[in-house]
Structure 1
Amino acid sequence: MILPDGYSDIPAGKIAAVVTHLQMTTPAPRRDDPPGAWTLRKVDAPALAWYRDLYRRVGEDWLWSSRTQMNDPELAAIIHAAGIEVYALVVDGRDEGLLELDFREPRQCELVYFGVTAGLIGTGAARFLMNRALERAWSGGVQRVWVHTCTFDHPSAVAFYQRSGFIPFRRQIEIADDPRLDGTVPRDAAKHVPVIQ
């Protein structure tokens, strides 16, 4: 369904975001790594508690909630699936960034989750993580790497992806239950998105 021009009401208890899909079909010129003592660690068969903790610390303020709402078998079926790769950005021995790549579609790689914890935003850690993400994505003989972001994410996300070589190709509106109302994420998360009951 295509929304009409103008304003459209969103029911109380719901949230709405503009989702931008971006892709690259050839590798972009590599950007220099910023100075920093970061490393990337591949996490094979991630422990569910570890994954949930890092997912929450990276994504809670951006209203990442879909994985939080999954039970153990549902989450394990995704993050332990063949073709899914999970990585942690390590800073001073602590996991502070999440990268999840999905190679399950032939000749494609989706950056399913990408982000760093709040204290690393603006430090260059995300650039380091993106450089590693693109190196890994393109090393598998894919023809397309893609990602999507939304207006709940960091306001610089679209520009960051474009600087990384991604080109926007699709825009959607996503409407969902507000995960702060059922306790999936804390009530005070994502102060940039008001709660309307």
Structure 2
Amino acid sequence: MTLADGITELTPGKIAAVVTYLQMFARPASRDVSLPSGLSVQRHAAPTVDWYRDLYRLVGEDYLWFSRLEMADEKLAAHLARDAVEVWSVSRAGRDLGLLELEWFDNGDCELSFFGLAPDLVGGGIGRWLMEHALERAFARPIKRFFVHTCTLDSPQALGFYERSGFEAYGRAIEIVDDPRNRGLIALDKAPQIPLLPAG
């Protein structure tokens, strides 16, 4: 479906985001960044659904990340256990505060599925270090393309960060969904920067 030029009214309870698709075909030159003292990174092979969703919420709730919250437990557990999926966390004092998820596909693509830090870790170069780690992991396998998408519900810094990391935009779309707060997936007080409008 193609939207007509101009303003399109949304059904009550819906939210809309402009999605930007980005990609790269070769590993950019490495940047000299280091993980700040007191932090560690760990891979989680077949993490539990509860652990994963707790970290996913911590990192993404204020941007209305919801896709993994509505996925059935069995389906999510099977996804996380796949050899083609890697889940990493950034931790401080034993608490997981950053999420990196990568997925490799048979066609030679690798997706940066989820990437984010809890508010406690934003700033200080941690994101740059985690991206270097993501690039290293992605291109450790013989891939043709590394891709990611972001949207206007994400952090305002996200798009520029991905471009500075070597991704180039190649496509754009509009995503319209039911507000996950009205569906009970996310607490009503989350993402205050996105006004909550009643459904129906």
Give TM-score, length-normalised by structure 2.
0.94
Cα displacement (A) at 1:39: 2.3
User: What's 1:131 paired with?
Assistant: 132
Percent sequence identity over aligned pairs = 47
Distance of 1:92 and 1:26 partners within structure 2: 35
RMSD: 1.2
User: What's 2:10 paired with?
Assistant: 10
The aligned runs of 1:1-197 (5 Å cut-off) are: 1-34=1-34, 36-37=36-37, 38-197=39-198
State the SS of the aligned residue for 1:174.
strand
Distance of 1:186 and 1:126 partners within structure 2: 26
Unaligned runs of 5+ in 1: none
Please list the CA deviations of residues 3-49 of structure 1 after superposition, one character each: whole Å capped at 9, or x if unmatched.
Answer: 11111111111110000010001111222215612322110010111
Distance of 2:23 and 2:71 partners within structure 1: 27
Please list the CA deviations of residues 129-178 of structure 1 after superposition, one character each: whole Å capped at 9, or x if unmatched.
Answer: 11100000011011110000010100010000000000000100000010
Q: Note if contact 1:82-1:104 (Cα within 8 Å) is conserved in structure 2.
A: no
State the SS of the aligned residue for 2:78.
helix
Distance of 1:136 and 1:122 partners within structure 2: 23
Distance of 1:50 and 1:151 partners within structure 2: 27
Unaligned runs of 5+ in 2: none
Distance of 1:33 and 1:83 partners within structure 2: 27
Give 2:155's aligned amino acid.
H
